[in-house]
Amino acid sequence: MVLTGGYSDYYSTEAHFTKIDSSGNIIFQNVLPQTNSSRSMVGTTKGNFAIAGGLGTSSDDILFILINENGDILNRKLFNSSGIESDYSSSIFETSDNGFLITGYTTYLQSTQIDQNIYLIKTDSLGNAPTVNINIIENQLPAGFKLYQNYPNPFNPATLINYELSNSEFISLKVFDILGNEVKTLVNEKQNAGRYSVEFSGADLPSGVYYYRLSSGNFNEVKMMTLIK
């Protein structure tokens, strides 16, 4: 069995590719260089593995990695590394022509304009993608207030919290430990209607269950997340 995900030490956060036996014992673990996250992986018909992850430089960008069963990187591609927006991968699938379909989204296209688009990236068997298709949803204002489940969850050390606002309100987004003690305030300001994504880092917190609460006027919603180090 093989696993992928985030690998974090004191100095950096990278992705890992880990092979385990049937008892869960690690056979080997490769930390993948020049990566920040691994969000989805699929086994290929050729016996390799394709990973959709991310790399943070001047912005967050979608990263494709093709890797063999020994953890050796066969190919890597970075998509839309323009430096003016943050892009995130969500899933990856192998297609009937042995290529791949990567889904993802963008957020904060401009510092003065909130924007969220859906990505559909079609590649060949090596991850080459001559074109990237974007379905724009920025003009579709949310119908109400909504707080989404964080992703990834469980996480280490960072995760994304997404929420929607149907109108301009003063927003409070806070994180609490299992005893109800406030550990971090993520948002405490008036925001316009739209879709928002906030990163929460638990690098300075112990492993455990945490709760995050979105409050605005009469709206109040709480969800649970798990930090595992």
Domains, the chain, with CATH or none: 2-136 (no CATH), 146-227 (2.60.40.3080)
Number of Cα atoms under 13 Å in the Cβ half of residue 175:
21
Contact by Cβ (8 Å): 32, 14: yes
pLDDT of residue 22: 84
Q: Which whole-number Å values give the CA distances from 186 to 39, 175, 176, 200, in the listed order?
A: 23, 8, 11, 7
pLDDT of residue 138: 47
Q: Would you tell me how many other CB atoms lie within 10 Å of the CB of residue 181?
A: 8
**Which residue type is seen at 189?**
E
pLDDT of residue 171: 92
- Provide the token pair at 13: 């956060």
The answer to whether the Cα torsion of 69, 48, 160, 130 is positive or negative is positive
Least confident of 142-146, 156-160, 192-196: 142-146
pLDDT of residue 59: 60
Give the three-state DSSP class for 54. Answer: strand
pLDDT of residue 182: 95
